[in-house]
Chains A and B, each alone.
Chain A
Amino acid sequence: QLQLQESGPGLVKPSETLSLTCSVSGGSVSSSTSYWGWLRQPPGKGLEWVGSMHYSGSTHFNPSLKSRVTISVDTSKNQLSLKLSSVTAADTAVYYCAKSYFLQPKIDSWGQGTLVTVSS
């Protein structure tokens, strides 16, 4: 069974870069039918898609975050990563890594989520 596990700092200072890693087990990030992505949920608010990537290099981002987001896939480590630059308090959220069937909303595997707080 596919398992995803997020890791990274729980506290980031304003204007700095948020960096998270997602380790994948029970499956391969090199799957041709899978997109690997990140979603987030501010405390008490709804879900927001951040972006998704195929191992071939194809990437798609939320237009509102596109200028600040980098997503990469490391096939040798079976991991994906997220970098979000110039963070503000508005970026405080639970960040989830997830797998979808192609770039479709069939998001069938999720990590448990990790809370990242932006504060000085």
Chain B
Amino acid sequence: QSALTQPASVSGSPGQSTTIACTGTSRDVGGYNYVSWFQQHPGKAPKLMIYDVTSRPSGVSNRFSGSKSGNTASLTISGLQAEDEADYYCCSFTSSNTLVFGGGTKLTVL
């Protein structure tokens, strides 16, 4: 299975919004509403930020939102804060009953 495609890096200034795209195929992202986003700070375990494309777990800031169009899912972070600087990974269920991750995106808050 091929990894989902994410930009290697994105950046934004405090208070601004930024969007990270995650592109797959009709056999994964496009075929199911089972896409999650994870935030990972250096040396830490990943943290679930978005699941089922648009849902937020309890305790996750509403500055984080998810969406999907066709084979591309997106994570939008509004009102950027310094603490948002981290690596972000998308993950999708696939038609082969497996899970596949994106390569990860490093978010820099300028």
Q: Which residues of A contact B (CB under 8 A)?
A: 46-49, 52, 60-64, 96, 100-101, 103-108, 110-113
| 7 pairs, A vs B, C-beta closer than 8 Å | A46-B103, A47-B38, A47-B91, A49-B98, A105-B51, A106-B48, A113-B45
Contact B99–A49 (Cβ < 8 Å)? yes
Known: A63-B1, A106-B36. A49 touches B91 (CB 8 A): yes
From the candidates B34, B47, B104, name the one contacting A105 in the complex (CB within 8 A).
B34
Min Cβ gap A101→B in Å is 8
Nearest CB in chain A to that of B103: its residue: A46
From the candidates B35, B51, B99, name the one contacting A52 in the complex (CB within 8 A).
B99
From the candidates B1, B46, B98, B102, name the one contacting A110 in the complex (CB within 8 A).
B46
Known: A60-B98, A110-B45. A46 touches B89 (CB 8 A): yes
* Residues of chain B in range 38-54 having any CB-CB distance to chain A below 8 Å: 38, 40, 45-48, 51-52
Contact B89–A47 (Cβ < 8 Å)? yes
Q: Is B109 an interface residue (CB 8 A)?
A: no
Contact A96–B98 (Cβ < 8 Å)? no
| Smallest CB-CB A-B distances: 3 pairs | A105-B36, A105-B91, A106-B51
Q: What is the total of A-B residue contacts with beta carbons within 8 Å?
A: 68
- Bound Cα distance from A85 to B109, whole angstroms: 41
Known: A64-B1, A106-B52. 13 other contacts (CB 8 A): A46-B102, A46-B103, A46-B104, A47-B40, A47-B104, A48-B101, A52-B99, A63-B1, A100-B99, A107-B38, A107-B48, A110-B46, A111-B45
- Bound Cα distance from A107 to B57, whole angstroms: 11
Min Cβ gap B17→A in Å is 24
- Bound Cα distance from A100 to B92, whole angstroms: 12
Write out the residue numbers on chain B whose beta carbons fall within 8 Å of the beta carbon of A47: 38, 40, 46, 89, 91, 101, 104
Write out the residue numbers on chain B whose beta carbons fall within 8 Å of the beta carbon of A110: 45-47
- Bound Cα distance from A101 to B100, whole angstroms: 15
From the candidates A62, A101, A105, name the one contacting B1 in the complex (CB within 8 A).
A62
